[in-house]
Amino acid sequence: MPNITFILPDENQLTVAASDGESLMQAAVDNGIEEITADCGGCCSCATCHCYIDDAWKDKLEPADEMETALLDSAIENKQANSRLSCQIFLTSDLDGLVVKIPESDW
C-alpha cells in the first residue's frame, strides 16, 4: 500500500494510501481530487489527468510511451519536464512516498 502525497493547486497537501497496481489517476479520483477529471477513464485518450511528478521521483517511474508523450506535447499548456498523465503511472510499493503536484485543470 504505497502512500502518495498530492499537492493541490491551493498548496494544500493530501496523503492517501493507494492500492498496489492501481493508477495514480485512480488514486486521485477516488480521493476526491476533482482537478483530475480523467474523462476517458484511463485509456490514454484525453489528457485530462495531467500532473507534475516531484523531481526526486520522476526518474523512478517508467518513462512515458509514445501515445502519452504525444498527448502531453499537444494538449498541455504548462508542460514541464516532469509532466505526466497520471492514468499511465501504476503504483507499486516502490513508489511509497511519491509526491505529485496537481495543476489547475486545463479543461
Partner 1 sequence: MSCIIIGASHAGVNAAINLRNLGYQGKITLISADKVLPYQRPPLSKAFLQNTLPEQRLWLRPEAFYQQKEIDLMLGKRVISIDREQQTVELDDGQCLTYDKLILATGASIRRLSIPGSDLIGVHYMRDCEDTMGLRDALPDAKNVVVVGGGYIGLEVAASLQKLGKNVTLLLNQERPLKHLTSAVVSDYLSELHKANGVNIQPNAAAQAIIGDEKVTAVEASNGECYPADIVVAGIGVNPEQALAQQCGLAIDNGIQVNQYMQSSDENIYAIGDCVSFFHPIYNQQMRIESVQNATDQAKTAALAICDKLTPYTATPWFWSDQYDAKLQIAGLSNGYDEFVVRKESENSLAVFYFSKQRLIAIDAINQPKSFMITRKYLHQLPAVDKNKLADNDQDLNTLFTELVGV
Residues that bind partner 1 (CB under 8 A): 22, 26, 29-30, 32, 34, 37, 39-41, 43-47, 67, 70-71, 73-75
Task: Closer to partner 1 by CB, 34 or 104: give it.
Answer: 34
Task: Closer to partner 1 by CB, 65 or 94: give it.
Answer: 65
Residue 7: Cβ within 10 Å count? 16
Consecutive H or E run containing 13: strand 13-17
Task: Give the nearest distance from C-beta 78 to partner 1 in angstroms.
Answer: 13
Task: Give the nearest distance from C-beta 19 to partner 1 in angstroms.
Answer: 9
Q: What does the DSSP assignment read for 11-39? A: S-EEEEEPPTT-BHHHHHHHTT-TT---T
Task: Closer to partner 1 by CB, 15 or 56: give it.
Answer: 15
Task: Give the nearest distance from C-beta 75 to partner 1 in angstroms.
Answer: 4
* Residues in a beta bridge with 44: none
